[in-house]
Amino acid sequence: MLKTVSEKAVKEPDIQAEGKINWKDLLYSLGALLGLILLSAVLTVLSPDFLTLNNLMNIARQSAINSLISVGMLLTILTAGIDLSVGSVLALSTVVMAILIIKLHVSPFIGVLAGLCLGAFLGFMNGILLTKLHLPHPFISTLGTMNIARGLALIVTGATPISGFPFSVQFLGAAFWGPIPVSFMLVLVVFIIFHLFLTRTTTGRYIYAVGGNPEAARLSGVPVERVLVIVYTLSGFMAAVAGLVLIGRVNAAYPLAGLGYELDAIAAVIIGGASFFGGVGTVWGTLVGALIMAVLRNGLNLLGVSADLQTVAIGAVIIGAVYIDVLRQRAINKGRR
């Protein structure tokens, strides 16, 4: 029974059934990618500077941080949860790296490792709070962690940024391999790993099963609580990895870093085809969602749109993506009747 639940949870849409193409499932599978292509085509027409190598590499670099956070956020949304703490976890992990490496002159390797472990620990605590305290929704536990981590980041730094990292720490966020940002190469490697994790491992199948139907998964023998702890631990770890890339971008750690990053990550995941109802979503869809966010911001900048109007546009895109998710879920429920 366990195998049946897991396989059903990760089943891909049936694009071709009985020799006929299922256009609805095809559109669902490729909708985000088609949206990215259409958006890019429109911006290419509107701005001659959009489709240039320098600008495309700039988009890749700008999308890296959100992509790294989003792949962790994807795991939580697959379980019908959410992680509001990722921006604050990013900030606290980076300032801890800064204090150890710059203030206390600890080895950069040890400092970075400590920051990454702190991010994973904070995610682990999110999972423990959710599963052991039996809170009604991860919104509560991660909201609490968000405020705790942000407050600690402000306290330990005196609310001031810390700069002056060695290049070895900045490498992932600052270096290029030819014209290609190393940060985007890191994104591709990470996404390949997470794709294999979700599709080729038992824990990955469990994650889909928990999001699809947690009670059925529990009755099938899935260790639901352990799966949730793993999911939130990975989300916290990826927030810390994104923080390391941010250090390379700005050569500084500051306690207010990551404000609003959780919203961008949620938007990327949902735009990429994941569902707030859990059990639906892919790693590559999430990457496309993050690229759509980056392309949209980049294009609006090239067109001279003010930051205020950009915020309005991003908000409209998020609402549209969530509404599409609601319509999709209604269609699924209607089909089951």
pLDDT (average), residues 67-75: 97
pLDDT at 330 over 80: no
What's the mean per-residue pLDDT of the chain?
89
pLDDT at 171: 96
Cα–Cα dist 166/336, whole Å? 57
- Produce one character per residue of 8-28: b if its CB has 16 or more CB atoms within 10 Å, e if not: ebbeeeeeeeeeeeeeeeeeb
pLDDT digits (tens, 9 = 90+) for 162-178: 999 999 999 999 999 99
Number of neighbouring beta carbons within 10 Å of residue 286: 30
Cα–Cα dist 289/140, whole Å? 26
pLDDT at 7: 45
Q: Which residues pair with 48 in a beta bridge?
A: none
Number of neighbouring beta carbons within 10 Å of residue 203: 14
Percentage of the chain beyond pLDDT 90 is 72
Task: Measure the N-to-C terminal CA separation of the chain; round to a whole number of Å.
Answer: 23
pLDDT at 134: 84
pLDDT at 96: 97
pLDDT (average), residues 45-70: 95
Sign of the dihedral through C-alpha 87, 75, 284, 181: positive
pLDDT at 10: 46
Cα–Cα dist 235/250, whole Å? 23
pLDDT at 13: 46
pLDDT band at 158 (very low <50, low <70, confident <90, very high): very high
pLDDT (average), residues 140-167: 95
Task: Give me the domains of the chain, ranges plus CATH numbers.
Answer: 2-336 (1.10.3470)
CB 256 within 8 A of CB 91: yes
pLDDT at 20 over 70: no
pLDDT (average), residues 124-145: 92
- The residues, ordered by sequence, that sit 6+ positions from 61 with a Cβ below 8 Å of its Cβ are 181, 183, 184, 249
* 113 against 13, higher pLDDT: 113
3-class secondary structure, 36:
helix
pLDDT at 22: 57
pLDDT band at 11 (very low <50, low <70, confident <90, very high): very low
pLDDT at 208 over 90: yes
Cα–Cα dist 111/116, whole Å? 9
pLDDT (average), residues 83-94: 97
Percentage of the chain beyond pLDDT 70 is 88
| Of 246, 325, 307, 336, nearest in space to 31 by CA | 325
pLDDT at 73: 97
The two three-digit tokens of residue 58, written as one number: 């700039």
pLDDT digits (tens, 9 = 90+) for 270-305: 989 898 888 889 999 999 999 999 999 999 999 998
| Of 120, 70, 334, 152, nearest in space to 236 by CA | 120
pLDDT band at 248 (very low <50, low <70, confident <90, very high): very high
pTM of the predicted model over 0.85 = yes
